[in-house]
Structures are given as C-alpha cells and as structure tokens.
Structure 1
Amino acid sequence: MKRNSQIALLFQKQASKKIASPVQSNIVHDEEVESDVESEIDIEDTTPHPPSPQQPNARSYDAHFCPHDPGDRIPISSYDVNIQDDVRRGYILKGPCRPYEHAFPPTKKKGKKRHFSCVWFEHYNWLEYSIGKDAAFCFVCFLFKERANGGPGGDAFVKDGFRNWKRPESFKKHVGGVTSIHNQAQEKYNLFVAPNTKIDNVLMKVSKKDVLLYKTRLTYSLRCLRFLLKQGLAFRGHDESEESTNRGNFLELLKWLAEGNEEVNKVVLKNAPGNCILNSPRIQHDIIECCAIETTRLIIEDLDGDHYAILADESSDMSHKEQLALCLRYVDKLGRICERFLGVVHVSDTTSLSLKVAIISLLKDHHLSPTQICGQGYDGASNMKGEIKGLKTLIMKESPSSYYIHCFAHQLQLVLIAVAKDNEACVWFFDHVSYLFNIIGVSCKRHDMLRDVRAQQVLQALEMGEIESGSGLNQEMGLSRPGDTRWGSHYKTILHIVDMYPVILEVLVRIGKDPSQKSEWTRIRGVAAAFESFDFVFNLNLMLVVLGYTNDLSISLQKKDQDILNAMVLVGLAKEKMKDMRSSLGWERFLAKVTFFCNTHGIEVPSPESNYVAHGRSQRYYEKQTNDDRYRREVYLGVVDQVIQELDNRFDEVNMELLICMAALNPVNSFASYDAQKVMRLAQFYPNDISSMDLLRLEPQLEIFIDDMRKDDRFKCVNHLGELSIKLVETKKHVVYDLVYMLLKLILLLPVATANVERVFSAMSLVKNKLRNSMGDNLLNHCLVTFIERGVFIHVSDDTIVETFMAMRNRRLKK
C-alpha cells in the first residue's frame, strides 16, 4: 500500500472511534497514535504509482488502492474534534485530497461522460474528493466552519458533498465575498498552518537567536530586581547617567553582575541593542508587577477556591495617604493555618462603606468571591465593629457566616492601658517613668553616659565573678519609650529599668551634680528621689509580674498558626495566674521578691504596721492607713482585681455560643470536652456550607469519628485544633470524615489577632520611606507583596515571570 493511503486508513480508524463514542470524541491518547503510525506506516512501499501533478502539500489518492479516504468521514459539525489532536493536526498539514482523473468511477448511464476537470482542484485548493461518496467537499469548511447552516452555497460542500459536475460555477458561489463563512474558515486554516503571521511579525522579522538574547537579557534584569524586592530596597538612583558614580541599586547591581561574568556582560548594558537594554523605569515596573502577579497567583492557587477569613486595618503611609491592608486566613491543602498578605488599597476616607467597597474590589480583582468569607478580624474602632453600619455588618450582608472577632492582642493592650490609666498608683508610676525618659533621653550625651556607666558596672561584675561572659551575654542596652499602640512595649521598658536600675540611678546622681545642669537640678533630683523610693520599686515589680504574665499571652496570640479556641484557653490561663496572685500565698511570694530587690539596691522597706507616708506628696490626699493596707489592699489587690475584671469585660467572646460549641471539638486529653450536641449546634451556624441533608449525615459520622480518634494512638498527642487538622490530612482521614473536617476548617478560619496586618504597616514604613515617598499606589502594592510574602516569591520561577512579562504587551525584541 502507498504511504499516503496508509495515513488515510489510520485517520479513518481514529475518526471511526470518535464517531462510535461521541462522549469520548475529545480524548486521544498520543501513545496509541504513535504506536499505530509505527506499526502501519513503516512498511516498505513497493507499489508503483504515477507522479503527483498537484501542489507539494496536497495529498493524492489512487482509487484502485484507496477505496476509503478521509472524505468518507462525517463532517466536523457532527462531532467535536480537538484541533490539537496529533492525527488531525497531521491531516490538516497534509492538505486536502487531490484525485487523478482516471481515479473517478465511470458514470452510471452508458454513453455519458463526466464533466470533470483536474483544473478545478488546481484552482480551488480547498477542494477534496471522496471516492466512496463520489463527491467533492470543502476542506477548510469541513475543519473550521463554526455554523452548520447558512452562508453562500449551503452545506453541500460540508455534509453531503458536491456532485453537480456540470455547474463548476458553484465553486465560486461557495467561496463568496470577503466576509463569507468559507473565507473565515480559510483564514483560520491559514493561521493554523502558518502561525506567527500577525502584522507585527510580518513587519519585523525576529530570529530565534534574537528572541533567545532578549530573554537572556530580561532574565538578568529580573534577577537583580528579585534581590532588591526581597530586601525591600530602592531601585532608582538620584543620578542614573553614565557619568554618575552611583546610578542606583538596580543599575549598580546589574553592572556588578556583568563585571563578574563574561556571559552576562555580552548581552547587558552597553553590549545590548540601543533600544532594548531592559533597564528603563517602565521595564522595571513591569517586571515588578509580573513578580507580584505570579506571587499572588500562587497564594490564590494555594487557597484553591476554599473558604477564607479576612483581616484588615488602615494606616497612613509616609506620604500621608490612607492605606487599607488586607490579609487572608485560610487552611491549606496540608491542613495548616495560613495567613497571607493580599494587597494594600488607597482609600480616600475610613468610613465603613468606603472600606467595604475597597475590600470587595480587591477580592474581585483576584477572582475571590465575598460569599466565601467565613471570618473577619479588625481592631476595636467604631467604623469596624459597629452593629448598625460597621464594616463587620456590611460584610455579613454579603456572607452571613463571616463572624467577627475583635483582635485578641489589641484587646489585651486595651486591658493594660485601662489599668495604667485608672489606678492612681499606676498613674504615678508611669508618669515618673515618662519623666525619667525626658531626663535621660533628651540628649545623646546622656545616652552615652548611660552606656558608659553600664559598661563600667559590667566590667566590675565580671572581675568580681558576679556575672559570666559569653556570646550574647551582657549586651549593650538602652531605654525605649513605651507606646499605647505598640504591643509589648510597656513590658520591654519595665524589663530594661529593672535590669539597669543601678545604672540609671548612677546617671541621675551624676546629672544632678553636674554644674552645667544646675538649672534642672530640682527636676532631676526630684525624679532621682522618687526613683529610689519604695513606692516606685513596689510598682516597678508589680508591673513586671502583671505585664510578664500578659506578655506571654500577647506573644502567643500573635502567632500565625494560633487558633481561636486555644487563644481562649490562653486567656483563661492568664486569668488563673491573676487569681493565684490574689491569694495570700501569691502576695507573700511577691512581697519577698520586692524585699530582696530593695535589700540588693539599698532601699529601705517600710514596716507593714506603720502608717503610710506618701513619697513627695501631701498626706491630705490620702486617708490614714497602714503600709499593709496601702500596698497590699489598695495597690496590689486593686491592680490584680482590675486586670481580672478587664479581661472578663474585654474578652466577652468566651460567652459567645459559637465559641462554646467550638470547645466541644477540643482534642486535648483525648477529646475530654467532646459533646455531640454542641457539635451539631455548631454546624447550624453555617447553613450555607452545611445543608440539612449534611446535618443528617453528620450525626452518625460524629459517632464514628470520636471512636476512631480515641482509639488511634496517632491522635493522642494532639493538643489543639491546628495539630488535629494537620494530622487528619496526614492520615487521609479528612476524606473519610469530610463534614467534621469542614467544621474544623471553619473553626480555624476565625482570626485571633491582626498581627499580620500590623506587620504590613511595619514593612510599608521600610519600603516607602522618606527617600521613596513618591511611590505610586500600584508600585507600593507590588513591592509589598513580594517583600512580605518572600517565602512564596522564592518559589516563583524566572521562566514564569518572563512569560508573564512577554504576554503583558507587544515588545520590540531587537534594534
């Protein structure tokens, strides 16, 4: 058999398979096609055949050797055929069938001759002849015609075939005008056979070498920008001219890279084409945008259309523009809690409606549905948590199951601020701490004096063997002023004062004796006197203990993988610590600690039975009482009781029915707090995710689930919901207990703290600083995405970014 005939038989075989099974018409296995071609075509062709008079790409079939050719197939409109199918692609590239005149069968009527001419097939290169049907077909319409009916010439050249050989003018009629269906199919055929025929490629011929050099040059620019993005550094320089000694981070880094590598030097900077150096500001911004797009794409793919929670907050940047930062909290495919930064949006005002519009717009830009929101986390501002027109209420109208949780870390900070402002002893103490900073922190000279005195005392202690030396020990330490908006700053300040107490006292004494500071002696000596009083030391140690317990809680709350149920447990533990301090044993331990501190630094401890004398204050403002009443009842117990009360008032979520039901899934102690009824009630909080049919299926699934968990040794060491989620995915049991895992994910989605959003603002102050205060909003967003989500950015390949860059717009690849 001839090779062309064998190809036709092979295509006929594949087409018959598709006709027999229309459902699988789009499925073609490349391996099967390749094996069939090798087994049937690689046969030695010994049959003689006449030469082909047609075009080089046209196929010719001899009627004696090819009784069935592709023209016998059902037209393309009858079943779906994949354009990229290997067999069909080869069929298209071969072109239509070109018969010989002697291949036509004789007419049925005797004495009649067929009005046939081979010139038709030479003039109309789209014609294809079918031996079996004895008809002509339009090759391009058969493959690329979009509509089955309509158009000049009807479907005679597609379905039934053309047989009226006496009317060759029908060929011209089928072709029609410029906008005819045939010409549209012909254009699609031409584009398929000869790709890259766009006008851009026609006007400017680009060789493969030019494309390779362009991508190489682009890759080196990308690598320099990658480094700068991950470090949050600036790209542009003040003077980028060739005569400048500092052309900016990007150009200097690219220059350094070229100097150390000859292969790089061949294609960049001066050795690049004049209009294709790829270092202009626009090119830099496009590459940065592509980096941000691909980084965000990986985050969205990791989310995979699942439910998520939003964490949002607003703050002004260096150019005094209000920016709204948005983070997503979700459970990934491995069961881990993830909090990812999505982007920042400039908002003209901070009303709840404006914030809601900005959030929804940002979500839709990344193809995220607001109906998938299952949790909200903001600070305690009225525009955020308002019951009527607050942001949480507006979001819940979009998604009723998006329950709001006030940031736990922010609530804890409010507890400490409330205690510091409402208790008279605490107010006096923090006022004197502020005076202390105003004296010591007013000049660099006094800071240097503090460092010198500390260094001298450390050397003396080392010589006397009181302290040890080693890596990380006895570091230089200063004083930092506490701030109400900086979580943990009060505790850090108290720690430094306790550790540097003798150093600070020595500095105050030296300043108080310095003749050059004579005008401030009264204020300095007053602060020094208060600093070494028992009142100051007592409050100092009390704040150290109270803030120490709450600081551990604050650090735990700010972890990214913290779940809300475990956070409530930590809040309960903090309350228990406060209650232990309130007991008589707690008071005795604390008093012993204060007494030891006073004896160490030579401070007189007043007798408990003696009358209280206020240091530096008039006795008119204090009732007559003993020192024990003052320090134990009024100060110590007063502060502890107020902390407990504020914790109860601020963390009112513990009384929410939602969280009470969540506690039933706590895995601690082999699910000791498990309650099936509470879990069923928990499922009812999410009617859009768990239907009534799912509720019927959930009840028996819970019984099997709890028995399995308590018997499986792998789950005995699980201590919180995050570990339970990961362990279920590891053991593949999240598939078996799908509804339980769904509830578990919904619980984990509820946010604990907005620490990640606060970290965004810290990063924003690094990326957009005083020297880069003119950055646009889009550039700021792209830089923040790659800088904050560096862990995701490093997994984005250079090739992916280059492809995105090339697809962004048409580029000139050579000079």
Structure 2
Amino acid sequence: MKKGDFPQHECGDSTNNHGGDAFVNGGFRNWNIKSRFSKHAGAVNSAHCEAEEKYNLFMQPKTSIRESFASNSGEFKVQYLARLTWSLKCIRYLLRQGLAFRGHDESKDSNNKGNFRELVQWLAGNFEEVNKVVLGNAPTGCQMIDHKIQKQLIGSCAHETTKLVIEELHDECFAILADESSDAYQQEQLALCLRFVNTTGQPVERFLGLVHVEDTTSLTLKEAIKSLLIKYQLPLSRVRGQGYDGASNMKGHINGLKKLIMDESPSAYYVHCFAHQLQLTLVAVAKENTDCAWFFGQLAYLLNVLGMSCKKIRMLRIAQAEYMIEALKLGEIESGQGLNQEMGLARPGDTHWGSHYKTVMHVMLLYPSIKKVLFKVGKECNGAEAIGAQTMLQVFQSFEFVFLLHMMNEIFGYTSDFCNALQRREQHIVNAMDLLEFTKAELDVLREDCGWKEFLGKVTSFCVKHKVKVVDMDGKYKPIQRSRKFFKDAINYHRFHADMFLGVIDRQLQELNNRFDEVNTELLRCMA
C-alpha cells in the first residue's frame, strides 16, 4: 500500500506535517515517549479519532444514533408524535394571539418560565393524557420545549400557512400592499401582503412575508417585492393593484416604486388607502398651520396637567357630577337613558387623528368642570403643579383658545363621518366617494360669510355662558403666550377670520383635493 492511500492526519511530529512518521516505511518509532501518543491522537475531530469512531461503529453497529432511532419501539414513536402535537397546539395558540413565547427566566425553579412553557405546564397539570408525554415524563433530550425547537415549529407553521394562501389564490390576479418597517435590531425590512378575491367572491388580505432590505430606495424595494413573489411563483404580470403609503419613494411618478411596478405590469394601478389619506390630510393641516400647532400644543399641556394623577382625575369627575346636577335643575340639559354619560380626557393617538376629535369634543363638554379643577389646583397646590395649573388656566379662559377649540371641533366633525365610513368593511366605494364630495361641499359652505357668522355666533354664546371675555373684532390682536412682535398692527378680525378660520379651511380643502385625486376617484367609480 502506498503512502498516499492512508488517511491524512497529524501525528506528534515536531514539524506538524501530515502523514509524519506514523505511515512511513519505518513505522511509528517513538513508543518510548508517552506524550507523543496524545499528540498523535489529536483533537476530537482529528482523523485518528474519526477512524477510531468508525471502527467502533463497525464493530458495534447498535450503539450508533441512527440505529437507536431506527430501533425505537412503536410506543415511543406514538409518545413522540403526541408530544409534538401538543407543542404545536401551544404554538398555534400563541401565534394566533400574537403573544411572546420565551420568558426572562426559563429555569426549572422560575415562577414564570414564559408563555410557551407555562402553557405546556398548565396543560400537563389539567389533562392526564398530556402529562404522560411531556416535561418530566418525556426523555431528557426530547421534551420539545427548547427555543430552537420552537423556532423550527414556528417556521413550519409559517410555511404551511403560506402554502394555503397560495392555494387559495390559485392562478388569479391579485394586488400587493407593502410598507416599510424595522425589526427589534432596527434593521430595515419590507412587509408584503396580497389582496385578492377568493372562490366565494369575498375580498381578502393575506400576509405573504417579510424581506430584509439594505435601504429604502424604490429600486431596492422593487427587487425585494419581486424576489418574494418569485419565491412563491407569483409573477409581476398578475399584479392588478398597488397600495403603499404617501412617501415619495413609494408613490413618485418618475422613479417611485409605483412607477417601477407599472413598467412591468401596466395594469397595476396605484390606490392609496383612503382612511390613511384622510389622516395625512388632518396631520398636514394641524402641523403646517401655526395657530393649529399652538392649539394642539396647549391641548397636550392641558392633558399633562390634568391627567397625570388619580387625584386630579377624581377631582374632574366630582366637578362634572356637580355641574350635571346643577344643569339638570336649571333645565339646561335633558335626562334620559344613555344621556349625560361620564367622560374623561383620553390622550389622542399620534397616528390616529380621528381620536383628536373625541378629545376636542370632550374638552368642550367638560369646559366648566376643567376650568373649576384648574382653579382649585392652582390655588391649593404648591410648586410646579400650581404654576402649571395657573398658566393653563390663563390660556384656557382666553378667547383664542375657545375659538380654535370650536373650529377644530367643527372641522373634525365634518371629517369624522367620512373617516368612520372609510374604515367600515361593508362600505360601498361609490358611497365613500359621494361622502367625500359631501364633505368638501360642507367645508365650502362653512367658509362663506353665512357660515362664518353662524360659527362666530356659536363661539360668542359659549364665551358669554362660561364668562370668557369676547374680543372686539375691530381691535388690535393680542396673542396669548406668544410675542406681539410677530403680529404687529394685526387686527382681530383679520387674525381670526382670515388667518385662522379661512386659512385652516382652505388648507383642508387643498389637501383633500391633492390626496383624493380625480384619477383614482374615477377609476374606483368605474370599477364599482
């Protein structure tokens, strides 16, 4: 046998060459040096140890892991299948509820081992058939509760779910819905959903998957979408619709994602979510108008002053109950089932501008109670708490705050019905388009002279009722908590009528026309 026919491994040779003096004609000559044996054997993955392991398996084949699995009894396989089934059931429950799997401390003595292990333990403690095959009654190396096993089972569930989605789609056309997001490590990724009509004629939306992207340029996003669709054998030619947010890299007419998709599939029309468009319209109006920005800043400060402690919330409830009793005695409000319910000052959501209408409306209805609580806190408390209440009370009792409060309530009131209609699943698209036109018509009527006079009359009567000083429209404008240098020689009528009233309404109408363009509107009308 030649030297090259032997397996190559290191021996104890000082030159560390392969082969060495173990496989030369003279043989292994260093028998008298004991340390050379360990060097000759090498590490666990050395050629010597691998050869020794193969020899042992050849002489005793029943000791191998493969043979051990193959020789398992039928009862062991049944128990393994039952254990796997119960682990899958626990995982499906947690996935459906969107709950976390792992706990902070999953050790044996922990009081809370995480949702998955706690659920398995609860099932074992309440059902004998489960207890026979899981946890302590299962083999130490086959309990099916390790986090690596959980990930593998979750991946299997995701694969089977996606497979059913593709089968439900068949070979029909579909629309894509995509949005950018980030994971726990702040890495950019793209979420993709499919929207199509199933065999029963119902429009459905199905989540397809997440794709990690290096950046959020339109070309990168397009390649990510294309790769994910090709993975499930869904060509871009079958795309008949696109839905993204209002970012320029998504809806750009030249190099946007919308344009790149339409280059390969001309029938993939872009339609923005109408409810999201309306939210963006309200956000643009509220942030770009300085008076609206000031009002919402004061509203946030008011919520901080009154909503930071249970004591103040209780004071507000008591004040509102006393006001209701007095109003009922004077006949100012009516009593009846469902009327005069207790209200609070819930903080509006930053991404849900429909919730701002509820907050504004509650501030109007609770105005006398809030005024009473602010005065009480400013008088009885000390330090920063008292200063905050006193400062807020000055703004709260100003004509400017009351004017903007009524204006936001009016505008949000017109768009609230439209916003609620767009979020209804059973809403017909033609009715939604008609409601859009009706909202625009109402805003046009409001900005006319008759609408201004009627609105100013409401604000004035509210101020008289709650003892708020009404400003002279022909007098000079005096800003609240803002420097007069920015409003030199400004007249009240011009500030309240032109800058605030007409400025906000015109901006609202402009945003509605820009975001709900005629192309998408007519397209949806024709499809309906």
Q: TM-score range by the shorter chain?
A: 0.7 to 0.9
Q: Give the equivalent residue in structure 1 for 2:168.
A: 302
Distance in 1 between residues matched to 2:490 and 2:114, nearest whole Å: 71
1:397 aligns with 2:397: no
Structure 2: distance between partners of 1:462 and 1:436 = 22
Matched letter for residue 533 of structure 1: S
Among 202, 206, 222, the residue aligned to 1:340: 206
1:578 is matched with: 443
The correspondence for 1:611, drawn from 475, 489, 494, is: 475
Measured after TM superposition, the shift of residue 460 of structure 1 is: 2.4
Contact 1:409 1:554 in 2 (8 A): yes
Q: Are 2:397 and 1:538 aligned?
A: no
Match of 1:478 among 335, 339, 345: 345
Matched, 1:326 2:188: no
Aligned equivalent of 1:554, options 419, 424, 449: 419
Shift of 1:450: 2.9
Residues 336 and 584 (structure 1 numbering): CA distance in 2 closer, same or farther, change over 3 Å? farther
Distance in 1 separating the partners of 2:512 and 2:285: 11
Partner of 1:512: 378
Equivalent residue in structure 2 for 1:635, among 500, 513, 527: 500
Q: Give, in angstroms, the shift of residue 421 of structure 1.
A: 4.1
Kept in 1: contact 2:285–2:507 (CA 8 A): yes
Matched with 1:747 is none
Aligned-pair CA distance for 1:259 = 1.4
| 1:267 maps onto 2:133 in alignment | yes
TM superposition shift of 1:514: 4.8
Does residue 593 of the first structure (1) align with residue 454 of the second (2)?
Answer: no
Q: 1:366 and 1:476 mapped to 2: Cα distance? A: 51
Report if aligned partners of 1:327, 1:339 keep a CA contact under 8 Å in 2. yes
* CA distance in structure 2 between the aligned counterparts of 1:240 and 1:642, rounded to whole angstroms: 56
Task: Find 2:310's aligned residue among 437, 448, 460.
Answer: 448
Contact 1:450 1:504 in 2 (8 A): no
Of 460, 463, 475, which aligns to 2:322?
460
Q: Please give the alpha-carbon distance, in whole angstroms, between the structure 2 residues aligned to 1:526 and 1:459.
A: 25
Q: Tell which deviates more after alignment, 473-482 or 383-392.
A: 473-482
Q: Paired residue for 2:229?
A: 363
Q: What secondary structure does 1:374 align onto?
A: strand
Deviation digits for residues 333-372 of structure 1 (CA, Å, limit 9, x no counterpart): 2222222222222222111122112212222233322211
Residue type at the aligned position of 1:542: M
SS for the counterpart of 2:271 is strand
Contact 1:327 1:343 in 2 (8 A): yes
Local SS of the residue matching 2:242: strand
CA distance in 2, matches of 1:473, 1:290: 53
Q: 1:234 to 1:620 in 2, by over 3 A?
A: closer
Question: Over residues 65-115 of structure 1, what are the superposed CA-to-partner deviations in whole Å (9 max), with x where a residue is unaligned?
Answer: xxxxxxxxxxxxxxxxxxxxxxxxxxxxxxxxxxxxxxxxxxxxxxxxxxx
Task: Tell me: CA distance 1:469–1:205, structure 2 relative to 1, closer, same or farther (3 Å).
Answer: farther
Go from structure 1 to structure 2 and tell me whether the alpha carbon gap of 1:354 and 1:518 turns closer, same or farther (over 3 Å shift).
Answer: closer
How much does 1:238 deviate? 2.9
Question: In the TM superposition, what is the alpha-carbon distance from 1:459 to its structure 2 partner?
Answer: 3.6
Maintained 8 Å contact 1:549/1:574? yes
SS of 2:175's equivalent? strand
TM-score under structure 1 length normalisation: 0.51
Judge which range, 351-360 or 589-598, deviates more: 589-598
Where 2:382 maps in the other structure, the secondary structure is helix
Could you say which residue in structure 2 is the equivalent of 1:644? 509
Give the letter for the 2:420 counterpart. Answer: I
Select 2:95's aligned residue among 226, 229, 232: 229
Change (3 A) 1:379 1:277: same
CA contact (8 A) 1:450 1:503 kept: no
- 2-side partners of 1:428 and 1:265: how far apart? 63
Percent identity, aligned pairs only? 45
The alpha carbon displacement at 1:439 in A equals 4.4
- 2:525 maps to 663
Cα 1:384–1:222 shift into 2, 3 Å? same
Cα distance between partner residues in 2 of 1:294 and 1:633: 61
Query: What's the counterpart of residue 434 of structure 2?
Result: 569
User: What is the CA-CA distance between 1:264 and the residue it aligns to?
Assistant: 1.7
* 8 A Cα contact 1:338 1:561, kept in partner: no
Shift of 1:515: 6.0
- Is the partner of 1:388 in helix, strand or coil? coil
SS at match of 2:468: coil
Deviations 1:293-346 (A, max 9, x none): 222233222222211111111123343222321122112222222222222222
Give the letter for the 1:359 counterpart.
Answer: I
Matched residue type, 2:344: M
User: Which of these two proteins has the greater Rg computed from alpha carbons?
Assistant: 1
**1:314/1:535 Cα in 2 relative to 1: closer, same or farther (>3 Å)?**
same
Aligned equivalent of 1:243: 109
The answer for the alignment partner of 1:351 in structure 2 is 217
SS in 1 for 2:100: coil
Deviation of the 1:217 alpha carbon: 1.8
Assess if the C-alpha contact under 8 Å between 2:320 and 2:366 holds in 1: no
How far does the alpha carbon of each residue in 1:549-605 deviate from its partner, in whole angstroms, 9 at most, with x for none? 223323333445667655433322221221232345544543443344334423244
Select the residue among 368, 390, 394 that pairs with 1:529. Answer: 394
Deviation at 1:479, TM superposition (A): 4.2
Residue of structure 1 in register with 2:281 after alignment = 415
Note if 1:216 corresponds to 2:82: yes
Q: Is the 8 A contact 2:194 2:207 kept in 1?
A: yes
Paired with 2:431 and 2:225, the residues of 1 have a C-alpha distance of 28
- Choose from 356, 361, 382 the match for 2:248: 382
Q: What secondary structure, in the 3-state scheme, does the structure 2 residue paired with 1:380 have?
A: coil
- CA-to-aligned-CA distance 1:751-783 (integer Å, 9 cap, x gap): xxxxxxxxxxxxxxxxxxxxxxxxxxxxxxxxx
Query: Conserved in 2, the CA contact under 8 Å of 1:336 and 1:561?
Result: no
Q: Distance in 2 between matches of 1:362 and 1:512?
A: 60
Change (3 A) 1:400 1:455: same
Local SS of the residue matching 1:406: coil
* SS of equivalent to 1:527: helix
Report the equivalent of 2:367: 501
**Residue-pair matches, total:** 457
- 1:130-169 residue pairs with structure 2 within 5 A? none
* Cα distance in 1 between the residues matched to 2:114 and 2:319: 45
Q: Structure 1 residues 487, 374: closer, same or farther in 2, change over 3 A?
A: farther
1:776-809 CA-partner distances (Å, limit 9, x unpaired)? xxxxxxxxxxxxxxxxxxxxxxxxxxxxxxxxxx
Q: Using the alignment, how far apart are the partners of 2:164 and 2:339 within structure 1?
A: 39
Would the aligned equivalents of 1:461 and 1:467 in 2 still touch at CA under 8 Å? no
Q: Distance in 2 between matches of 1:473 and 1:212?
A: 63
* Amino acid in structure 2 at the alignment position of 1:221: S
Distance in structure 2 (CA, Å) of the matches to 1:276 and 1:620: 74
Asked if 1 retains the 8 angstrom alpha-carbon contact of 2:218 and 2:256, the reply is yes
Contact 1:613 1:619 in 2 (8 A): no
Matches within 5 A, 1:667-746: 721=528
Q: Which amino acid aligns with 1:215?
A: L
**CA 1:467–1:569 in structure 2 vs 1: closer, same or farther (change >3 Å)?**
closer
Distance (whole Å) between structure 1 residues aligned to residue 339 and residue 193 of structure 2: 35
Partner of 2:47: none
Q: Could you tell me how far 1:427 is from its partner in structure 2?
A: 3.9
